[in-house]
Structure formats: structure tokens, C-alpha cells
Structure 1
Amino acid sequence: MKHYLHSFFSPNSIALLGASERASSIGRTVHQNLTSNAFAGPIYLINPNHDVLFEQPCFHSIMDVKQPVELAIIAAPAAVVTKLMDECGKCGVKAVIILTAGFGEGNDSGKRLQESVSHVARRYNIRFIGPNCLGLIRPNSGLNATFHSGKVDTGSIALISQSGALCTSILDWAKSRNIGFSAVVSIGGAADVHFGELLDYLTFDPQTKSILLYIEGINHARSFISELKRASRVKPVLVMKVGRHSQGSTAAQTHTGVISGEDDVFNAVLRQAGVVRGYRVYDLFVAATVLSTNKRLQGENLVIVTNGGGPGAIAADRASDLDLNLLPLSKHSKQQLNEVLPSNWSQDNPIDIIGDAPPQRYKQALSICLADKDIDGIVIILSPQAMTQPLEVAKLIIEAAKESAKMIICCFMGGAQVQQSRALLEKNHIPSYDTPEAAMEAFSYLVNFTRNQKLLLQAPEPLQKEVKVNIEGSKMVIENALSEGRTVLTELESMAILNAYHIPTTRAGLARDATEAVMLAESIGYPVVMKVYSKEITHKSDVGGVRLGISNAEAVKAAYQDIFVAVSKHYPDSEISGVTVESMYTKKNSRELLVGIANDKVFGPVITFGAGGTAVEIMGDREIAIPPLNKTLAQELMIHTRISKMLGKFRQLPACNISAIEHVLLRLSEMACELPWIKELDINPLVVDEENAIALDARIVVAHNAQIGRYTHMAIHPYPVELVTTEVLKSGDVLQIRPIRPEDATIERNFVNGLSAEAKYFRFMQNIKELPQSMLVRFTQIDYDLEMALIAVVGTDSEEREIGVARYVTNIDKTSCEFAVVVADEWHRKGIAMRLMKALIDSARTEGLVSMEGMVLAENKAMLAFCHQLGFDVEQDKLDPSLCNVVKYLRE
């Protein structure tokens, strides 16, 4: 089945609306690009003011073209674009590229124009790229639907850019370095087709081996993350994001009309999606070069081999900047190097083999490094000195690389003397750079890619089945506050929610007079902390509302009066309900942390972790992760902070209980998933010692939430544990039906490979021996918001076996879905397919879908009968009698 964006990348025919012969006009440049790049299909020129253009017939309207048009390109003034879109819709055009500027760009008239165009597009089910974009290029098929004036070579890199100007700069830069592209898409304002959809297409595009993204802002966060994760499981994805600082962010919003999220949140998104980030245009190609080799790291240990001390030192400095692990040489490797290198070699890493090094010396040093099992990557630096033979060295490196799986990166410094050597290395897929810094950066991208790919494999589930939390009680606390018109919970309310989620807190109670305060203190045990309790006062210490270290009854009475007097001076009209009395944490081995929930304006709730205490803003030690978390993601969140280095054994302090911190982070993750009313939550400090992690203070800000579905506030849909069911079959087998997970790749592959040839043919409508890797990724790395795959498994957790699967994928209209179901041959006629399909239909109905449809081979009589049994309408396809269309309406 063709992808719904196929018409943009491989159209059979094109109409150019706004064609022109006027010099320097967009219409003229686009026409020149379309006709000079060997596009095979017909090109129809549209301009109401001309009968002939470029010695070809020119139509006054696309409605005058009596032949089908698959792709329309609009290069006309903004004022007429809505009318042109309406005419495209009436002619049945389903794909449009709008090059025209003047839409949604920070002014009301532009926004109204964009809304008008989008409305027409929805009415006719038209998909469009733009507006305000450069267009699209597909070099391999001769399609250049842009106004870029240069030629673009065919290659294996796909580029998606929000900025047309930057896109042309990248293309010009790449041309000078003989870098080609599989596809180039400039999306401009991304009013319709967006990053997620283009990633979905390019992920399974056989011409594309790696994907580069230039991003100014994201306006479809969940789709973006889902497709980013799916793409990066199949091929390297490299991202450059502007708006890292407030000035850049403001500029980007003005330019594209989309919102830029906080940069540290965006970094967290990229890490968890297995993606590499660059900060310069050059970075994208450095990373693309090293990742396109398909060699991956088993570890992070790096050695440098150089024939010059200076370049080696530059490389080592850059390695330190990038926190790369320059491995000290083993005793054995040193002994071997001593046998083949001059006595004045550097004796460590970097390995300086001295300036007069001939090719054979490079070969010997490289062989020793490749044989060392502790070395994972090697950077070879060559400076063209009088006795150097760059081409011979390059040939030796190529031969060595063929025999080893280890990553070799080259830096042949200079110009004309090493140009031929670099070209030979690149031809043989060995990354080659002209500066030591670039070579180190290339290795760092490989390290980051490897780390992030490990995070990509994490697919956490909600944690309710591990720890039963009180969601309903928490909702009641929040709803009570909102009903009173309050958005900031009191400390006792905040602590109640933490307790509902099993986050340890200090013992506390509310005293409404001094006598009650003494009774509470005696019950809790001294020393205690006393704090003013008022629904109107948030920062208690700022108004004298906190007293610490109170150790007897007389002090309690005095503190009670002192708090009232101090607070009344600052807030004479505030309503003070009393004073909270809490046990005071007195252990000496603790460290103070800050953990919490924040809400990013693009990606929704995020989990924060960092150093706590009164100077938290000054310290600025904070990292972010996108929920839902699991233990691996929680650990990854911690290790990126400076405070994490103090959580282990430190001077006279014992190591902290890391598991206790993980427990708190996982509870916060679940809170972020299940309580969309929470906009901010700070636990500061969370004190942690060798035994426990305890919340001493908490502040929660809430707001009314108008979400439609359970997890619509989340950028990443949590694993839908509520769909898991278990039953015992008559055979005694325990059958579990559950949504598929990424880690099910092995049992999914074994299941498909074990199907009979007939079952495979009926399911895939073609003969396949085994499931291709790209299809396996697509089947297991799913977006639970847009699709569902329920698998039936038997056996234990350690030896699960998949025996059936039913899945649906939501169609572009977002109201219908396509389904498929298959059961292992030996499990036929045991009710497995019926159980799977009933669960799948219930899931689709819960998601609000209106209909479920599919295509069944007419010869598959058993499947057609099964569809009848489930209430599907069955009709033979009018265009292909070998197929039957089946549809079931999900609403009564």
C-alpha cells in the first residue's frame, strides 16, 4: 500500500499555479527546476493572464486541465491561495505544495489567511506542505519542486528544514563537498504536513539511509516524538534545533508561527528518542558521515594515533571538552608499541608515532590498537610532512578497517597533498575530516548515538500494578482546591498527595491554637518544625512564618505566637488557619535534592531532578526527562547532574540510597501521567541519606484541565496497562492478551517466521520468508495514541511465546482505522482470534474511532466468514475482484 505522502515524492503529474516568465520570479525558477531535472510526468502551467508560457499551453485555471493532477505547486500571491486551493479540491488534487509567503507569520491577516487555506484543505481532504516554504526535491526521480537555483546531487541523506533560507545554504554547502540527498523537504510554517508525518515516510524510504532535521519549533509534539523514535530505530536521525536561548526562541516563533519549547526539555526528548543533536550546520554532516558507516561502539574507550604532537594535543583537548574517554594504554599494548615504534614515541594515549612515520609504522600501531579488546574506537591523525605518504597510509587503513568491526575515524590534515587520500577513504566509507576537532566531535556523536539508542529501548509501563496508589483521593484534594478558586495547594494538601503516591514525608499535623500545637509536638516527638498554615500564603519563610528546631513545650507556645505576629505584619488581612507542626529531620548524612514536575508549553509534563536547598536557582543544577519513566530512565536522569557525584560515598558520608530516589522519581512519573491538573510540583528539599529519601517540603500548583482522553496531556503515551487481560484456557494454558512492546521484537519475529506459507500470504498478501527488520520495528515500536497491536501470549515471563496478534492503524481522517489479525496455525479454532478482535474493537471504540476496515483476499474464505461473524460488512472490491473490502461501524 502506498504511503499517503507518496504523491509529494513521486507524483505522476504536476500543475504549477503561478507559472511565470518574469525574470527572478518564483514561478519561473520552479518551472526551470521542474523541466531541467528529467521529471518524467506532464507539467501543466496555470496562470489566468497567459495563454502560452515557455512556448507551451498555459491554462487560466487548474479546472481547465482535463487530465488528472497528482501534485499542485502554488507560487501565486497569498490573497488568491484560498481560491486556488478550492479549485484544486474540486479537481480532485490531494497533494499541494504552497511556496507563497504571508501566512501565519505573527500578524492577524496572515493567520486568517492560513486558517482559511487550512479550512479548504480539510473540506477536500487535501494534504499540503507549507506555506512559506522552499518546496520539495527528490533527486533520484528528477523532481525539483523548489525555487532553489542550484543543482542537488543524488545521495542517501534526507533533509527536512523549517527554514527555506537555511535549506538553500545547506544544499549549497553540501554541493561543494559532493554530498547528495535522497530527499529535501522545506516545510515552512508546517500548517498541515509536519515533521512527524515526513519522518513516517522517510523511515521506510529505501533511498534514505539517514535523516537530518532543522527545527525551529514543534506543533505536533506527540506525533513528533513517536515518529522520531520509530525512525531512529531504523536509521540515524540528526537534529539541529535553534531557539536555544530566549532571543533565538522569540525570533523562531515570529518567523514560523509555531512555539519553541524549553531547550533542556528538547534535549531530553532527543535523548529518549535515540537521536543525535548538532548545534551547527557542519555538525549535521560530521555526524551523518560517521553514523552512515553502520559501525557501532561496544564501549566508549578511544585512542588517538598521530604523527604530530601538536595535532595530538589539540585532539586530546577537544576530547576532554566533549567528556570522551581517552583510554590509558594497557601494559601489554605499550610493550607491543615499544617493539615497533621509535624510542621517543609518546608512551601513552595519544600515541605519537613521530613525524617521520612511514606507512608501515601507521599499520603496526593501528594493528596493535585493533587487537586490544579494551579499545573501542581509533582516531588516526596524519599531517603531511616531507616523508609522509598519505595515499599509502589511507590504503593500509582501508585494509585494516575491512578486517575489524571497530570504528576508525581519520583526520588527514592539509589540502592538496591529502585530497586524494581523503577521497579514497570516503569512497571506502571511512569517516575522514580535515581537523582534529572535527574527528573528536565525530566520535562524540557516535558515543551519544550509542547512549541514546539504549534509552530508546526503554518502554516504561505505568506503575500501578507495582504500588497501588490513591488516584481518586488525590483528585478529590485537587478538585476541592479548584472549587475554592485556589491554584496553589496548602502544604498539608501537597503532602497528602505525596502520601497517596507513597512518597515518604515527615509526620505533620495542623494546630489551631497553642495548646493543640503542644499536643501535636509531644505526639510527633521533638525537635519539631512549625509553619504558618494559610491558603493565601505560599512562601512561608519570606514572611517569618517558619520556626525550626523547637525542642520543648514552652518553645512551641512561644513559636506559635511569634509566627502569628510576624505573618500579621506582612499580611494583616490574610486568613490564618493555624500552624502546622512537623517532625524535624536531623540526620547528618543527608544531601538535599530538588525533584518535581514542570509543564513545557510544547511537550507537556516533564520530570525534573537536581540539587536542592535555598540556592537552587543560583546553582542551576537541573536535568529533565519525559515521562513515563522506568528505573533505567530515572537513573539516566540522575547521572547528568553535578549533584549526582555527591550521592555516592563522599568524604565521611556514606553512599545515599539510590533506590529510594528512584522510587520517588517513578512515583512522580506516575503522578504526571494520572493527574493532568498538576502544572507545577516542587519537592524541595528531598533529603536523602543511606536509608531513605524524605520530602520535607512540597509545593503543588494546579489548574483546570479540559483534556479529552486519559493521556492526551502527555507527549509520550504510557503503556496502556488497562488493556492487559489474563485467563486460563481449557487446555490449562495461561493466555495473556496485552498491547505489544518494543522488547517484544524477538517473539514477534519468531511468531511471523513460524507461520505457514499460506498464513503469511493471507496476512501480507505476498510471499515472505521472514519479517524484514524495518517491518519488525514498525510492528513493535507503535504509537498507542494512533495505533494498537494486541498480542496473545502463553508461557511464563521468561519464556513467553506469541500465538496471535490483532492490530489497527488510524487512518488519515482520524475517524477510521485499518485492521489485521493472524493466529499461529496450531492455535486455530481455539477462540484466540475472536478474543483478540473483540479486545481490539473495544480499544478502537474507546479511542473514539467510527469504523474499522480492512482488505481480505477473496480466496481467504475462513477470514471472510470470521469477519461476517464479527459483524463486518463484506463487499468485493470493484477495481480488483481478488480482494474484498470489509468494514464494521463501531458506533451503535
Structure 2
Amino acid sequence: MSIRNLDKLFQPKSVAIIGASNREQSVGKVLSRNLLGDAFDGPVLPVNPHENAIGSTLCYRSIGSLPMVPDLAVICTPAVTVPTVLEELAANGTRAAVVVTAGFGEGDGEGADLAQEIKRIKSQYPLRVVGPNCVGIMVPPIGLNASFLHVQPPAGNLAFVTQSGAVASAVVDHAAHHNIGFSHVVSLGNMTDVDFGDMLDYLVADPNTKAILLYIESISSPRKFMSAARAAARNKPVIAIKSGRNEAAAKAAASHTGALAGSDAVYHAAFRRAGILRVYDLLELFDAVNTLGTGMKATGDRLAIITNGGGLGVLATETLIEQGGRLADLAPETVEALNGKLPHTWSRGNPVDIIGDAPPERYEAALEEVVKDPNVDAVLVLNCPTAIADSVMAAEKVRQIVSNKPRVPVLTNWVGEGAQEKAKRAFYESAIPSYNTPNQAVSGFMHLVRYKRRRDLLMQTPPSMPEGYHPETEKARGIINRALGEKREWLSEPEAKDVLDAYGIPVVETVIAKDPEEAGLAAVELGNHVVLKILSHDITHKSDVGGVRLDLTGRQQVVNAADEMLRTVKSVNPEARIEGFAVQRMATMPHAEELIIGITTDAVFGPVILFGKGGVEVEVAADSSIALPPLNIPLAQDLVQRTRVWSLLQGFRNRPAAAVEELYTALVKLSQIAMDFPEIRELDVNPLYINDHGILALDARIRVQKEADAVPVAIEPYPKHLERHISLDNGLALNVRPIRPEDEPALLQLIAKSSQDDLRRRFFAPVKTLPHETAARLTQIDYDREMALVAESHGEILGVARLTADPHFETCEFAALVRTDQQGQGLGRRLMGDLIRHAHSRGLKKMIGYVMAENKAMLALCRDLGFTEAAAPDDVSTRLVTLEIARDRAA
């Protein structure tokens, strides 16, 4: 990930147009017209060997004849010339280029070769390239229009990043018509260099950008994208449209899990995990911006509706329920207050129907009471124009109440056009979301709800695993390695169950039999009430070939069933090699529900975890959800609650509620299997029985591959290899490990037991405690770009040292805190040493830190560790310490 030289792209002091033209209807002509307007405050340098001037602007014959080195070059020459042009520009010192030319790998071999040439040049020079095959970029706040789009929108605080030039054109046209302003419009094209991850890293730090909009066709660097998106979504709304729903991967999958986890579903899960709000068309995109761009926040999903038309209220209510929201139950005191202010014919509930003749004062009275109701998370005000009431004045009353900043968001829908436009304009000017229909207004509210839920998932700090959980990783590794050594793609059912058992997932007892006679004896061993299954590496779905018999009793019945099963399987699949039978105890779990849990591998995002309704009709039921590992308990709970079967697990009629806590734990354990074994390509547990007493895996299949063929996980897992034991100078033994989400309480205890002076030196401000959001941000880190090492003893954190890499991934900034009563024992030195070694292993070249001049002990430690010291810019009370870490270090 890198934002190196992206400032030259989006804040250039000078721009060259390579391929500028006077020819009508040419890209070079449109680019020149857009760049040579009066808006951009800097030199624009046209280059074309066949032109003396572009319009009235002097044209240069070559790059070498330019009077200065341009910060940014916009290139629209033929594809075969682009690599040469780029190399000459880069060699002369240009650091950014936009290549609008097409023909780079969109289907022919020559284009792919040209794309490789661009990558070669990129590797030799610090040049950043947008494109090729794009429509260019816009930065309206500085008047930069380096695109061949037909219109330039006004300056604003939205950034729009897209792979599609056609979508860029449509969005810009819509925005200009509706006076929607942008901080940036970026068409990425083929993403040979600059991609979504780079743009997210750049835009999250841009003060002019309040929300980020994405149109995504594909992700080229999934881990970089996930890391950047999670960091961005913590700070600003990120809203995305994803085009294309390719099910080819699902059709090719051999397991139920793979068949259910299509690529679009995986993208959806990735967006959800990253905190991105997904929308499905351009209209919904702008509706989401209309809501989230105001900065308003909903605390829950309970909506109150105020309307002068009952039908409008019904439409809004239906949409709310369909989208998973709730009608707020008005508090009795609210209903009583409304009784005193509204006509006796009002609805006396939610929606609050204030009757069709409602004058502006009635809107005011109703809204004043409803926004105070503690059961209400947001209010939607609807208005249908009538001949006997002033809609514009009603809007003014709403605007006045909102100007006093009520405790809940207020959204509006003044239905219709013409007479309603003045009211809508007043709402727009006051930053009050207004929509064209009740359905759109409710969708706007649900955008707030879903955005909050995603942020909550980003900020939660739960236990990652059950306390004391220690899987038998080596046992599982031996089973998988044996199969790979025998060049087997599928583990046998007993092997697959042994892997689950090694990770603490309950499995039904199983005995292997070579022939029908052994199967009969195994039945006796297991208590004479058994299930019989065919054992063959060539058969994936046993029930499809008659390879499963349930509820068998006694030795002879099992022998007869095994003989019959052999004949049936041979007739259906004569090529299958039969290894024998699996005989398992017949599971008796009253009121059990059949579920499926599993792992599959996505071609882009790597391993994903699936949960859903199980059984033989699993694909027909089509009730499943997926998530990216690693999981913790709340993420597992979210995965389960997104399915229809979740409601059955709550219990109904005489069926008690299922032991869902055990299910959540099993999903977290399954996630750990996915993280520990990239060799696992697919894993199915179907059915997984669950009732009020627990869970039990009845059947399991695992498909393996060479680790070299595995797709890496998209989210950096917990780096267990950084764990180690140390001893302080006083002999105290400590564990040093990366911080985990569940460390929030211990971190707050560290703060509580540290002196105010130490805290002020660490946080550069007086600190007594940390709010949850800050503590969560410090404990739930992205291990890919951050690291925090804690030293703990018996559950107490005695010290922490952390680093955060810059988006160039060259420099990192550190901070450290050792509990006041533990200082002077060498803990700070040991933590900093581990942090420096980690930075070196990650390829970081420089570590910096800001240390208060009064913090003599920290400055002395930094000098001992090899840091140099200088005055911090613009702060005489702070020292900047710097360590070059590019060379090998032993300490």
C-alpha cells in the first residue's frame, strides 16, 4: 500500500497534456479544453509534435522541450507509444501520470505486454500511474479537470472512485444537475498501479473529503483493500456499488459450502467486514450520500413516522419492515402529549397521522414531542401537498426544530414536484435529508442503521476465543500432511472428523470397517443403533449414490445393509474405489435442527466461513450467510443472525432455544482451522445437529491442496509467532504478545494504574481514562499496518509498545507506555527491541517518535537503542527521535 506521490496526482503545480490536439471530437481535444480552462491555477503544457498551438496556447513538440518538469502528465497517445512516453517523463522527474489510452490487456496479447512494460517502468521510477483505459481524474476544489468528461461538477466534500468510465460520466452528469459537489472524481481504469486501496488511504487523510463513494468491478489487492477500507471506514462513511454477480466459481465447487458461497456473496461479506455500506444502484448511492453526508447518526433501528396522509405512512412502514427496521413504540407520555396537541382523530400511535388538513403548526407540535421520545431512534416526516395547508411553511417549521439539534436524526419526504420543490430546496440548504418517495426516505434511514452496525462490528472488543482453548494443531497437521503425501484431494470422513475433534468441535463417534462383516461387528461395538456410510475418496456426496443408511439396529441388519449398499453404489458409480464403511453411533438429539458450517476458498479474498440451514436440501433451502476469517464471538453471532434459521434456533412451541453459544464457539474454532491451514480448500460439516443441550457434527468432508496453491487470507491474522516469554531485571516473568481485542479492560487498568505524568507524556494531554471507542481502536488493530505488543502477568498488562506504518509502508511511528510501578526494570527496552525487530521484518526502513523534552528516561532509552534526536517541527517542548532500521539488527 502506498500514497507516495499521490499528492502530485491530486495537488499538482503543473500539468502536461501528452497528445493534446485541435482535432474535433478527439480525446486530446476534450482533455485540452478541460485542462486549459481558467479554473486550474498553474501552467498547463500541451505536447504534440504536429501542432504549434492548442487553441491559443503554445504547444511543445516533445517532452524534452518542455520548459519545466510537470508534476502531472495526462497521456492520450496511441497505446504502443505510452511506455516510451512514461519512461521519458519518469526519467525527467515527473512523478504522476494519468493514462487515458485503452489497449492494455483488454483482450489481446500485445496489450498485456504493454501493461507489463508500464509495471516495469513503475518498478524503476517513483512514478504513480492512474489507468490505463480510464477517463481521467477531477479535483474540483483546485479546478483540475484532467479528464475527457463532458461536464465538471462543483466542488464539494464527496470523493468518487470508479473503475468504469461510463459510470463516472453518469455520476458526474447526475451530480452536476443536482448541484452535488465532489472533492475528487477518479477513474481507475485497469489499475496497473493506483488501485482502490491506495485511494482509500489517500482520501481518508484528505480534510476536504467527508464521504467516499466507490464503484467496484474487481479488487486487485484484497489484503491491501481490506486493510485500507477498515481504516477508512472507522473515520468516514465508505459507500460502494459492486457490479457483476459471477456464479461460475460456485458451479465449479465440489462441496455444499462452495456451491453456496458465490463470488458476489463473498464481496458482500468483505464489504460488511470492512465497514463499507453497500448499495445497488446509482440512485441509492446518492440517497445514501444524502443521508450519511450530513454526519447524522442513528443509535438504533426504531423509526417514528409523522405524516399528513395515512397511505404514505403505510408505504413507509412496509418498506421499513421489509428492510429489517422497526416501528418505534411511542412512550405513553408521548401519546398523552400528542393527545393534547393533535385533533382527536389522529392515529394515536406510530405512524403519527396528523390528518390531511394539518397546518404547519400541527407538524411543529407533533415533531416537538416525537423527537423527545426515548423509544425513538429517528423521525421521518412525510408531507403530501393539499389545497388547504401550506407545505412550504410546514417545511419551515420542521427546519426550525432541526436547527435546535434534536437528540435524534430527522429525515423528510415532501411527496411530489412543482410546489414541493421550494420545500425540498430549503431542506437541502439546511443539510436535512430529503427524498423523492417514502420508500427512498426509509432506505435512507436504514443506511444510517446499517452504517452504525458495521461501525459497531469494527469497534467491538470481544474475546477472540474461549478462555483456555488450546487446539491440537499438530494432530490435525499430521492428518492433512498424510493426505497430501498420498496425493489425495479429499480426506476420508473419519479423517475429517479427527481434524474437527482436534479443534474441539464435537463429532459423532465413528468406526472404520473394511467389509460388511466388520461393519456388523462395529455396530455391536457402538451399541447396535448406528448409521452406515460408504467410504470412498471418489464419492463426494454419499447420499446421492445410496451411500448412507440411517437408523440400523443389530449386527445382521448392518451386514445386509452394507451388502446392498455395495451393489447400489457400484451400479450408480462403477468407477468409484470403495475403501470400506464408516459406522457411527446413531445420534439421538431431540428437537435438533440441521445446520451447515464450512470453509471454502474464494479466488480473490481467500478462505471464507459459511453458516446456514443444513441437510440434504441445503442448496434448495438457500438459507446461508458467509464471513471472512478470522472470526470472534460477536462476528460469529452476526454471521448466524443473518439467516432465516436463526429464528428457529430461538425456540418455538414446545421446542426449547438451541445452545447458540456453543454454535458461535464452533464457528470461531472453524475460523481458526481456516487460518492455521491454508491447505484446506473446502470443508463441509453437514449436518451439524444443534439442540438445547449442544452441537454435534454428524458428517464432515475436507478437500485439501498444496499450500503453494492457496489464496492468502484477506485479513491479516493474529501473529502468534510474535509471542515470547521474557524476564525483567528483578526476575519477574512476563508474556509478550500482540494485543488482542479482548485486552480493552486490561488496557484501561494499565491507564488507571499509571501516573498522570506518565499518561500526559504518552498521550500529550491530560488523561484519566479512555472512552470505549478510543480503547477499542487501540486494541482492535489491523496487524497488517499496525502492531502493538503488550507485556502481561496473570492477566494484567504492565506495558505496551505500538507502531503504525505510514501508507508508503516505509516509515512507522512508535509510542510506548510502561506502568509507573514497573519502570526501571528493563521492560521498555525489551518491548522496544521487539518492536524494532518486527518493523525490520516487515521491511520498514525508518522508525520515528515524538517524545516530550521533559521525558528524560524515554529520550535516554531511545539514544541507547540508536535513535537520533532533533527538535520536533513547530514544537519546542517535543523532540523528534529517528531510527534507521533498514540494516540487519540483532536487538
Please point out which of 835, 839, 844 is paired with 1:840: 835
Deviations 1:408-455 (Å, cap 9, x if unpaired)?
Answer: 111112223222222222222211122212111111111111222111
Q: Which amino acid aligns with 2:271?
A: L
Establish whether residue 474 from structure 1 lines up as the match of residue 476 from structure 2: yes
CA distance in 2, matches of 1:691, 1:504: 12
- Any idea what SS the aligned residue of 2:479 has? helix
Report what 1:674 is aligned to: 676
Q: Cα distance, 1:199 vs. partner? A: 0.6
- Any idea what SS the aligned residue of 1:79 has? helix
CA distance in 2, matches of 1:400, 1:750: 44
Report what 1:647 is aligned to: 649
Report what 2:29 is aligned to: 28
- Any idea what SS the aligned residue of 1:433 has? coil
Report what 2:257 is aligned to: none
Q: Cα distance, 1:382 vs. partner? A: 1.2
CA distance in 2, matches of 1:846, 1:475: 26
Q: Which amino acid aligns with 1:642?
A: R
CA distance in 2, matches of 1:830, 1:756: 20
Report what 1:818 is aligned to: 812
Establish whether residue 715 from structure 1 lines up as the match of residue 734 from structure 2: no
Q: Cα distance, 1:215 vs. partner? A: 0.9
Deviations 1:665-693 (Å, cap 9, x if unpaired)?
Answer: 11111011111111111111001111111
Q: Cα distance, 1:560 vs. partner? A: 3.0
Report what 2:875 is aligned to: none
Q: Which amino acid aligns with 1:889?
A: A
Mean Cα displacement is larger for which, 382-391 or 192-201?
Answer: 382-391
Deviations 1:607-628 (Å, cap 9, x if unpaired)?
Answer: 1111111111111111111111
Q: Cα distance, 1:551 vs. partner? A: 0.9
Report what 1:211 is aligned to: 212
CA distance in 1, matches of 2:472, 2:771: 44
Mean Cα displacement is larger for which, 616-625 or 561-570?
Answer: 561-570
CA distance in 1, matches of 2:150, 2:634: 49
**Mind listing any 5+ residue stretches in structure 2 that lack a counterpart?**
252-260, 873-878
- Any idea what SS the aligned residue of 1:340 has? coil
Q: 1:854 to 1:748 in 2, by over 3 A?
A: farther
User: Residues 606-645 of structure 1 correspond to what in structure 2 (within 5 A)?
Assistant: 606-645=608-647
Establish whether residue 556 from structure 1 lines up as the match of residue 551 from structure 2: no
Q: 1:61 to 1:603 in 2, by over 3 A?
A: same
CA distance in 2, matches of 1:206, 1:876: 27
Q: Cα distance, 1:59 vs. partner? A: 2.8
Q: Which amino acid aligns with 1:820?
A: F
Deviations 1:536-576 (Å, cap 9, x if unpaired)?
Answer: 33333333332222211221222232233333334556443
Conserved 8 A contact 1:261-1:602: no
Establish whether residue 286 from structure 1 lines up as the match of residue 287 from structure 2: yes
Please point out which of 878, 886, 891 is paired with 1:889: 886
CA distance in 2, matches of 1:806, 1:5: 27
Please point out which of 784, 807, 822 is paired with 2:803: 807
Report what 1:411 is aligned to: 413
CA distance in 2, matches of 1:247, 1:614: 22
CA distance in 2, matches of 1:442, 1:749: 40
Report what 2:159 is aligned to: 158
Q: Cα distance, 1:768 vs. partner? A: 7.6
Conserved 8 A contact 1:460-1:628: no
Mean Cα displacement is larger for which, 854-863 or 477-486?
Answer: 854-863
Q: How does the TM-score come out when normalised to structure 2?
A: 0.89
CA distance in 2, matches of 1:204, 1:179: 21
Q: 1:409 to 1:731 in 2, by over 3 A?
A: farther
Establish whether residue 358 from structure 1 lines up as the match of residue 359 from structure 2: yes
Report what 1:317 is aligned to: 318
Establish whether residue 783 from structure 1 lines up as the match of residue 782 from structure 2: yes
Deviations 1:212-269 (Å, cap 9, x if unpaired)?
Answer: 111111111111111111111111111111113659999xxxxxxxxx9712112222
User: Residues 483-632 of structure 1 correspond to what in structure 2 (within 5 A)?
Assistant: 483-572=485-574, 574-632=576-634
Q: 1:248 to 1:822 in 2, by over 3 A?
A: closer
Deviations 1:50-82 (Å, cap 9, x if unpaired)?
Answer: 344334443333233352322221111111001
Q: 1:223 to 1:744 in 2, by over 3 A?
A: farther
Q: 1:775 to 1:165 in 2, by over 3 A?
A: farther
Q: Cα distance, 1:749 vs. partner? A: 14
Conserved 8 A contact 2:75-2:99: yes
Q: 1:82 to 1:688 in 2, by over 3 A?
A: same
Deviations 1:149-190 (Å, cap 9, x if unpaired)?
Answer: 212211111111111111111111111111101111111111
Establish whether residue 454 from structure 1 lines up as the match of residue 456 from structure 2: yes
Report what 1:146 is aligned to: 147
CA distance in 1, matches of 2:817, 2:773: 22
Conserved 8 A contact 1:204-1:774: no
Q: Which amino acid aligns with 2:814?
A: A
Q: Cα distance, 1:743 vs. partner? A: 7.8
Q: 1:808 to 1:457 in 2, by over 3 A?
A: closer
Mean Cα displacement is larger for which, 728-737 or 403-412?
Answer: 728-737
Mean Cα displacement is larger for which, 773-782 or 148-157?
Answer: 773-782
Report what 1:71 is aligned to: 72
Q: How does the TM-score come out when normalised to structure 1?
A: 0.89
Report what 1:38 is aligned to: 39
Q: Cα distance, 1:650 vs. partner? A: 1.8
Conserved 8 A contact 1:481-1:489: yes
Conserved 8 A contact 2:215-2:242: yes
CA distance in 1, matches of 2:836, 2:376: 53
Establish whether residue 135 from structure 1 lines up as the match of residue 136 from structure 2: yes
CA distance in 1, matches of 2:160, 2:110: 31
Mean Cα displacement is larger for which, 433-442 or 855-864?
Answer: 855-864
- Any idea what SS the aligned residue of 1:550 has? strand
Mean Cα displacement is larger for which, 714-723 or 621-630?
Answer: 714-723
Deviations 1:721-759 (Å, cap 9, x if unpaired)?
Answer: 44345656567988664435578789699979x999999
CA distance in 1, matches of 2:857, 2:511: 67
Q: Which amino acid aligns with 1:627?
A: P
Report what 1:256 is aligned to: none
Q: 1:147 to 1:527 in 2, by over 3 A?
A: same
**Mind listing any 5+ residue stretches in structure 1 that lack a counterpart?**
251-259
Conserved 8 A contact 2:158-2:183: yes
Report what 2:305 is aligned to: 304
Aligned residues: 869
Deviations 1:261-298 (Å, cap 9, x if unpaired)?
Answer: 71211222222222211111011111112112322222
CA distance in 2, matches of 1:67, 1:793: 58
Q: 1:44 to 1:687 in 2, by over 3 A?
A: same
Q: Which amino acid aligns with 2:783?
A: Y
- Any idea what SS the aligned residue of 1:432 has? coil
Conserved 8 A contact 1:458-1:633: no
- Any idea what SS the aligned residue of 2:376 has? coil
Q: Cα distance, 1:463 vs. partner? A: 3.8
Q: Cα distance, 1:391 vs. partner? A: 2.9
Q: 1:776 to 1:9 in 2, by over 3 A?
A: farther
CA distance in 2, matches of 1:273, 1:227: 9
RMSD (CA atoms): 3.7
CA distance in 1, matches of 2:367, 2:209: 33
Q: 1:649 to 1:822 in 2, by over 3 A?
A: closer
CA distance in 1, matches of 2:564, 2:487: 29
- Any idea what SS the aligned residue of 2:21 has? coil
- Any idea what SS the aligned residue of 2:104 has? coil
Mean Cα displacement is larger for which, 326-335 or 300-309?
Answer: 326-335
- Any idea what SS the aligned residue of 2:299 has? coil
Report what 2:126 is aligned to: 125
Mean Cα displacement is larger for which, 604-613 or 528-537?
Answer: 528-537
- Any idea what SS the aligned residue of 2:361 has? helix
Conserved 8 A contact 2:589-2:689: no
CA distance in 2, matches of 1:632, 1:144: 45
Q: Which amino acid aligns with 2:456?
A: K
